[in-house]
């Protein structure tokens, strides 16, 4: 990264889900799981797999699996700038710590859609709050 760029803090959302780690892994590392609480997608759990996520607002964004370590860690490159990481840690048989890390923020950069990173980061931070603490929790609770 060029020294003229200033990095913004990553977005980090963490909570403990009342579910076994394998159940949480299915929610983050399958196309069906991701669609249920995040976005429609063509994800496959294979290192290097290229896929898209489909946002109603922005259409398709290219992604690529960059790290796959079941059932503990999944990282994907999202769009041209971002990395999204899901970390899972078994707390006990029926409890899993889930952490989402959204990094790649640059104060001087813009998204593919011409939006400045600092503005988008604020919007995404609030969006992830709802997605993780409401959508994911509801989905995990509804999966048998």
For residue 100, count other CB atoms closer than 10 A to its CB.
20
Is pLDDT at 3 greater than 50 in this prediction?
no
Which has the higher per-residue pLDDT, 13 or 113?
13
pTM equals: 0.93
Give me the mean pLDDT over the 6-31 stretch. Answer: 97
Antiparallel, parallel or unpaired: β 95-103 and 59-69:
unpaired
DSSP states of 10-70: PEEEEEEESS-HHHHHHHHSSHHHHHHHT-EE---SSTT-EEEEEETTTEEEEEEEEEEET
Give me the mean pLDDT over the 20-29 stretch. Answer: 97
pLDDT in tens, 39-83: 999 999 999 999 999 988 889 999 999 999 999 999 999 999 999
Contacts 24+ apart (CB under 8 A), 107-111: 107/5, 107/6, 107/7, 107/8, 108/4, 108/5, 108/6, 109/5, 109/81, 111/79, 111/80, 111/81
Give me the mean pLDDT over the 79-101 stretch. Answer: 97
Find all residues with CB under 8 Å of 85, minimum gap 6, and list them. 67, 73, 74, 75, 76, 99, 100, 101, 102, 103
Give me the mean pLDDT over the 17-32 stretch. Answer: 97
């Amino acid at each position: 990264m060029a020294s003229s760029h200033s990095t913004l803090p990553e977005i980090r959302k963490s909570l403990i889900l009342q579910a076994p780690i394998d159940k949480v892994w299915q929610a983050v590392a399958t196309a069906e799981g991701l669609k249920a609480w995040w976005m429609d997608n063509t994800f496959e759990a294979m290192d290097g797999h290229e896929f898209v996520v489909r946002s109603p607002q922005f259409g398709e964004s290219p992604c690529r699996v960059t790290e796959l370590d079941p059932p503990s860690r999944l990282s994907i490159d999202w769009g041209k700038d971002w990395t999204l990481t899901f970390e899972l840690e078994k707390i006990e048989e029926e409890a899993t710590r889930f952490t989402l890390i959204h990094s790649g923020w640059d104060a001087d950069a813009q998204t593919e859609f011409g939006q400045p990173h600092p503005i988008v980061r604020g919007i995404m931070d609030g969006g992830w709050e709802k997605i993780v603490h409401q959508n994911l929790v509801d989905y995990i609770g509804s999966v048998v």
